[in-house]
Amino acid sequence: MSEETAPKGEKLQKVLARTGVGSRREMERAIEAGRVTVNGQVAELGERVTGEDHIELDGRRLPAAEENRCRVIVYNKPVGEICSRHDPEGRPTVYDRLPKLPSGRWISVGRLDFNTSGLLLFTNSGELANRLMHPSSVIDREYLVRIQGQVTDEMKKHLLEGVLLEDGVARFTDIVESGGEGHNRWFYCVVMEGRNREVRRLWESQGVRVSRLKRVRYGSVFIPSNVRVGQWIEMEPKEIDDLCVTAGMPKLGQRPLTQAERQNLQRQRRKLRKPPARRKPPKG
């Protein structure tokens, strides 16, 4: 197709998802429901738009690209938080500690259950979140797990070859022992999917119990050593570009951070370096 006949702009639902107001599927439904307008006219599914178009969702203007750069944060989730925005039981959620966005919303890249801690990625880009979670991206996730019970070589062989769970065959791609004593031992293990409670179910299929579970890596992303439990750190534009490559997307090539954005990032990172307050010993 020549440049003259190539369609201009991007599909509307893709542009909407990238701003973080919802997933691409959610935006397709919003367009079909007549909730989206382009330049004052009700939009149609598949319509293409450019940066010059005035787009509204439910009567609110879509933020311009300059106002809504792609952002990603790495959160060190503690045990005892859920990955929903609201909980009927009033339990704390992972969103309680996240910074406020001027527009859009934070989208969790996958989930960790209530009793699992460790690395959790958040982004304001629905497109990036979907690509990172999609099985076609083939991104590995590494966990540190403490097992109660005897783990044999035969058991590890089964877990590496594949075990039939209720939702299909699952397997670890790697298992490395990491210390411990007796029937309480630590292992690093890697999965290539993000199924619900997959790591726990794999180990439990072998008759042992998972007493601790922490995600330590998502693709090439690790929790920085200075990010303590319950803290987060924001990625820089170059790190986000590397994450896009991991997800099979082209680099975004975003503008450099403004002076104010750079100062905010540096201020937040200085907070991470501060050691936790120590209790004073009682006077003798």
- For the annotated catalytic residues, the residue numbers are 113
Pairing verdict, β 184-191 and 174-181: antiparallel
Three-state DSSP class for 222? strand
Residue of 22, 14, 31, 27 whose CA lies nearest to 103 = 22
Neighbours of 47 (CB within 10 A): 16
Kindly tell me the sign of the dihedral angle through the C-alpha atoms of 78, 79, 81, 84: positive
Q: What tokens does 5 get?
A: 């006949």
> Measured between alpha carbons, how far is 232 from 77 in angstroms, rounded to an integer?
9
> Measured between alpha carbons, how far is 246 from 109 in angstroms, rounded to an integer?
13
- The CA R_g of the chain, rounded to the nearest whole Å, is 22
